[in-house]
Amino acid sequence: MTDSPRRPTPKFPLQLERVGPAPRRPVGAPAPAAAKRVAAPAPAAGFAGVGLDARAVRARMVDRLRAGGLRQEAVAAAMAEVPRHQFVDSGLATQAYEDTSLPIGLGQTISKPSVVGRMLELLFEGANARASGSLGRVMEIGTGCGYQAAVLARLSRYVYTIERLKPLHDKARENLAGLREHRIRLVYGDGRLGHGPNAPYDSIIAAAGGDSLPQAWLDQLAIGGRLVAPKADARTGAQVLVAVDRIQGGYAHSVHEAVLFVPLKSGLD
């Protein structure tokens, strides 16, 4: 979950008033002249349809991600389906389809769409995912508001997502229940420990980074599986995305672009 400065709270377009039944007219009274039809004002640019039908807005977001380099069409299709505005506070909903991270409380954020897309694309380069066309069994570290878990559910067989902050765990449960997501199991627990009971996992993704990758994550990765997470670069100390593939007899690491995620912490709050 990337950090981002808070933006000013936008103003929503006015909602239509509820229309009640027409008043009764006395028998024999002439009918009133037809009212002139007035066109409703157009929604704000870049936000047409949110609250009514946000598919067009999501499609434009995905087009921008493709223009920025996203090539994995399964990821693009999944992100075009999930209503990101339903995972943020209503006051920030007009910013939901911009390429920015947004605060979700407790010092946490929902990651930028471009970062979500990039990390999921890297997961698809794992051996098991390439062979099956699916991310298989997924473990997500850091549920946050539940948005990425909803995207993952459209790309995998099952998602086990772990959150150490109880208010966020509860918020994600509420958000995902509204979408009737059935292929997601939410776990309130210490993400550094992973989730051993359902290991091994074909794909592991983390939304927080530390100086090293917890050994539990590596142990719970299936042969042919891939882990994607932020980690401090050993030389510069700056965060970068790393991908770890479990192969017969060991692990293969690759380092990718710089990112900025919240710190990986242990324990429960």
Residue among 245, 239, 264, 259 at smallest CA distance from 117: 259
Omega of the bond leading into 200 within 30 degrees of 0 (cis): yes
How do beta strands 137-141 and 158-163 pair?
parallel
Lookup result for tokens 């509860």: 170
Query: Would you call 254 a catalytic residue per the annotation?
Result: no
Q: Which residues pair with 137 in a beta bridge?
A: 158
Task: Find out whether 102 and 145 touch, Cβ atoms under 8 Å.
Answer: no
**How many Å apart are CA 4 and CA 102, to the nearest integer?**
6
- Residue in 101, 111, 156, 203 annotated catalytic: 111
Residue 14 CA neighbour count, 13 Å, CB half:
5
Residue 240 tokens read as 């970068």
Is 105 within 8 Å of 175 (Cβ atoms)? no
CA distance 54 to 58: 6
**102, 21 contact by CB (below 8 A):** no
What is the residue whose two structure tokens read 């997924």? Answer: 138
d(CA 131, CA 40): 51
- From the centroid of its chain, how far is CA 159? 13
Which amino acid is located at 258 in the chain?
A
Enumerate the active-site residues: 111
